[in-house]
Every structure is written in structure tokens, then in C-alpha cells.
Amino acid sequence: MRAAWRKQAIINILEKYDLNLKLEIMGKKELKTLLIEYAEVALRLDLEAEENYAQVGNSRIAGRPDLPPSIKWPCTADGEAYTFLAQINLSELPFLPSDSWPTAGMLYFFLGLDEPAYNIDHQVMYYNGDFADLTLANFPEGVEEVNADEREFIAHRITWQPQLSLPDLGEDSDVLLQEYEELYTEICDVSDALGGGLQTWAGETQLDAYLCRNGMAELLFQTHKTPERVDQQAVEAFTDGRDQYGMHLLEEVLPLLRKYKEHEEQHQQAAKNWQVLFSLSSVDEVNMCWWDAGYLEFLINVEDLKEGRFNNTYLNLATS
């Protein structure tokens, strides 16, 4: 069903913009070729109505979750309650974003402090038991919520619609934006969705996720450097009196970087196994705003997704 929908969606896009007859060259590839090779299927959430909690176990954004006895409202290491972002009933999806997804159950998304904009504190939980055991959870008593003053969200019931999603393709995406802005917006600016292409505006989010979940967080924003350059930076830090930073570079960054460089190609390939799980933008109706109208992007390793493991996810915040 997903494959058939994708094929028809590509045909519809080309016909809508009159591009199946007039194929523009995007870099070295035709637009039709780019769509066939790279377009993915995302499931975009639509706000149905404000949540009245009349139904238990439906997909919703913000408010309060329906939890089983085995899952308690999570709290941070500092004793503050995570913010509930969404619960997603996988049985309500028209089809799965990919064959790697579990076919049933409930996904829960909780947010901690959204600073800095990378490796954000969060919790993703998966429940695949009897939905008859779900009950509307109360906010933990005597506990403060993380950034409570900025998170007075309005709960909504949500539904799901398929959406064609083209990931960032560098120069090809730039040309597409310049030549067909409306088309670009329709298939390259997809958020508030399950699955789909990575839409991060800057950086290497897949590599960041891979590094942070494989004991190499110290290499964030360092992998483009050579060991010689890091060694030089350490010397400069000591010269400037920044001894602590110099020691950090020598004792933590440099050894990791040398090991990373020995197998850099393998690391880069492994990072590609990280894919979008869920993205959530600054939704006005829900009173959500992430920094400067940015969005949250949850990533998961495809092998974890296949095995139904959601305790090793990565969260990034993209903003202009």
C-alpha cells in the first residue's frame, strides 16, 4: 500500500507542476529521477480538534498521556517532570512509514530541557500491551515541569495523512527552491510527521546522533578537523591561559579523533543508519514554539527501530 501510494504521489506531483513533460535538469539529474530515487513517504499529523479526553488511547499532541501501569510519567535527573509532547497509536496510521516500524502499539514522546539545540534531553517510550490497561495520567504531584512557563500547550487530537518527502540533497535542493519554490515547500519542508527525509537545515544530524549514542559525543563539531589541527588548538589554548580547554582537547578529543580517523569511512556509513522517527514544529494552534519558530527532530537507528527499541533515540532542534 505504501509503495503504491508513493508511486502515484510522484506521478501526481509531476502532473501538478507540469514536470513529467518538461523535465528540468537539477544538477546532473532530472527532477523525475530525483523523486524516484530519493522521495520517501512521511505520515504528516493533522490537528483534528482540541482534546477532551473522551477517548483513551487515541493519538494526541500535548496535554496528558494515557499510560499503562508499567510506565510512569518520567522525570529528569534533577527531579523535574518531562513535558509530554505526543502519544501515537500506531494502529491509527493509514500504513507504516517503512517496513522497519512496529505494526501496533503506542509511542510516547517526552521532552526535557531543549538547550543546547543538539543531543537534547528527552524520553521516547513504546508500549505494545493491552490498551484496556491505559488510563489518563495525572501530572506528578509535588514536581515542577521543565520550563513550565514556556510550555502551556493546548492538547489536540491528531490524525495522519501520507506526505511525499524529499530529503535535503544539497545543490539539487537549492536549485529546486530557486526554480520551483511552491514544489519545494510541498515536498522538501515536511515536518510534524513520522518518518520521511531528514530536513535539518544545517550540520550533520545523522553523524551527531551516531557519535552521541556511541560514546563519541566529545567529537561533536570536531570530525572535520585533523588531529594535527586539534593538537595546535590545544597549544593555542595553553598559550592563551585556557588550560582547562587545552587539557580537554588533549585528553578527551584528540585520542577519540585519532581512533575515529582510522575508520572514518565506516563511521560515516554507520551514521546513515540513523533516520527520522518523528518531527514536531512550532505549532501555533498548540501554543508550541521551539526557539525561533524551529522544530524538534527525533532520530533513531534503523536497527533499533526494527527491534522495537526506543531507549537510544537522539533529539535535535533545528532553527534559523
CATH number of the CATH domain containing 90: 2.30.320.10
pLDDT greater than 60 at residue 23? no
- Stretch 128-134: mean pLDDT, rounded? 97
Q: pLDDT category, 273, cuts 50, 70, 90?
A: very high
CA distance from start to end of the chain: 36
Asked whether residue 202 is domain-assigned, the answer is no
Asked whether residue 250 is domain-assigned, the answer is yes
Q: Are residues 173 and 295 in the same domain?
A: yes
Total domain count, the chain: 2
Q: Which domain holds residue 156?
A: 2-197+273-318
Q: Are residues 303 and 234 in the same domain?
A: no
Q: Are residues 277 and 246 in the same domain?
A: no
Q: Are residues 314 and 246 in the same domain?
A: no
Q: Could you say which DSSP state residue 218 is in?
A: G
Q: Are residues 98 and 38 in the same domain?
A: yes
Q: Are residues 281 and 260 in the same domain?
A: no
Q: pLDDT category, 14, cuts 50, 70, 90?
A: confident
Res 152: pLDDT:
96
Across the chain, what does the average pLDDT equal?
Answer: 92
DSSP string, 35-95: HHHH-EEEEEEEEEEE----SSS--EESS--EE-TT-PPPB-TTSPBPEEEEEEEGGGSSS
Asked whether residue 203 is domain-assigned, the answer is no
pLDDT greater than 80 at residue 200? no
pTM, full prediction:
0.93
> CB–CB of 317/208 below 8 Å?
no
Asked whether residue 204 is domain-assigned, the answer is no
Res 285: pLDDT:
97
Q: Are residues 181 and 225 in the same domain?
A: no
Lowest mean pLDDT among 11-25, 38-52, 172-186: 11-25
Backbone angles phi and psi of 199, in degrees to 5: -115, 10
Q: Are residues 100 and 218 in the same domain?
A: no
Res 225: pLDDT:
97
Res 31: pLDDT:
76
Q: pLDDT category, 21, cuts 50, 70, 90?
A: very low
- Stretch 64-92: mean pLDDT, rounded? 97
pLDDT greater than 80 at residue 263? yes
pLDDT greater than 90 at residue 132? yes
Res 20: pLDDT:
54
